[in-house]
Structure formats: C-alpha cells, structure tokens
Structure 1
C-alpha cells in the first residue's frame, strides 16, 4: 500500500480549493502571475516611494510591469480582483497602510459587510462555516 501512486495530480488537488467560497489559495501559479503587483506593493515600504505614489498614483504604477487590469484594480483598491491577479494580502497590506487603513478595515472591503459589521462578526468568532464550505455542493 505504501508504494501506491496518488490518484490525483497536484493541479487537481489545488483546484479543489477553488470550491471554497471566498477562498483564494496562494499557489505558485498565483505568485508568478502577481509578481509585479506584489513587488509594487513592497516598494511602498520606503517613505519616498509612498510619497511618489501618493503624489501621482497612475504615474508611479506606470513604472511597473503591471497589466492594465492590475493597474485598474490597484487604482480602484479592488482587493478581491488583486488577489485573483496574484496579489498577496500580506504584500497588499503595504498599500492598506499607505492609505491609512488598518488590516481589518481593508479586509472588510473584501466582504459584503461594512467595517463595523465585519469587526463584530470577527469578535463573535468569525464567519460561520454553514453555507461556506462548497460552491458546487451548496453547503
């Protein structure tokens, strides 16, 4: 039994995570896709870069090899789209901070809740797993 070959490829295994509502697993493929978005976000660790970005966001973004779709998502602060494009939430937190947002406040924008509603939900133990376990299974 120990030498049985797996019946599922790594790609099939990782694809199963796409069935969890609201979940984006940060895979190697996502990391490659979002490399430039994440490098941009990390550049905001330096005060001079934050100031340049705040002075003219579009001009600063144009210095990076980021797709038009990625630039639009960054300008709109569409964090769900940025995650889909390979952004890493921990790198994107540099953008949250540049905007003067706490991590929790920024993450609340990724939900259908206001920040006070999101904060209360988290204080009560987080999102219920009921209805949030499977897209195709409906539970």
Structure 2
C-alpha cells in the first residue's frame, strides 16, 4: 500500500526537539535564510551591526521572523523556516561558536551542553516520539 506523502511528511513533526528541513520549511524560511546568508559579506555584517532592525527591514521577513532574529531565538527561527547552517551566519557575526549557539536551544548552560556532547550526546530514550510518548 502506498503511503500518502502528507502523512509521511507529518511523521517528521513527531520527533521531539527536532525540525526536519522539508521543502515546506524551506519555502517558509526562504527570506530568513537569504538574510542570514547575506552576512557572509563583511560590508553586510557592518551594516547589520550598525542597525540590526534597519538591516532586517530590507528583507521580506515576517514580523515574527524579525522578532526571532532580533531576540536571537534560534528555536523560533527554526520553527519559522530557518536552516541551522544559514543561521550560523548570524551567531558567527555575533562572535558565538556553533556549539554555544546550539546550547541556547536547550535547557542547559553552554558548559553542561559541551559536557553532554563530549560524553556522546543525549540518550535516545524518551526522544523518539511525541505522540507515542517514548
């Protein structure tokens, strides 16, 4: 029996704490990700640092996306279509390491997050399914 594509894609939303970067998410975050990629150029980083809000106004971001960027709410950016590899341009511009930025997406301090990763990451128990409860 052939599975409906929408049912298949909906299963991706059942992974606790994980956002699978689907075509729908890519469409939703297109302008957010383009903004982030613009920070690869030094002249854009300078303009961004001078006035973040004014720089964001040049992009077709939703108000919710702008607020998430300005508050550096990386989890919200992911929900709004951000791709972590594009978002890395934002935290790089802020002088924050990839690991430090990722730690802000957890309930851990950077040191706790770092230690957890050095010990092999999170255990899979309890992290497999939202609706299944395990």
Which TM-score band applies after superposition, normalised by the shorter structure? over 0.9
Residue 117 (str. 1) matches residue 112 (str. 2): yes
Q: CA deviation at 1:37?
A: 0.3
Name the structure 2 match of 1:133: 128
Residue 36 (str. 1) matches residue 69 (str. 2): no
Name the structure 2 match of 1:71: 66
> Aligned-pair RMSD on alpha carbons?
0.7
Q: CA deviation at 1:91?
A: 0.3
4+ long deviations beyond 4 Å: none
Distance 2:96 2:18 in 1: 22
Q: Provide structure 1 residue ranges, at least 5 long, that are not aligned to the other structure.
A: none
TM-score normalised over the length of structure 1: 0.94
TM-score normalised over the length of structure 2: 0.98
Name the structure 2 match of 1:58: 53
Of 74, 87, 111, the match for 1:92: 87
Say which one has the larger Rg: 1
Residue 15 (str. 1) matches residue 10 (str. 2): yes
Of 98, 103, 108, the match for 2:103: 108
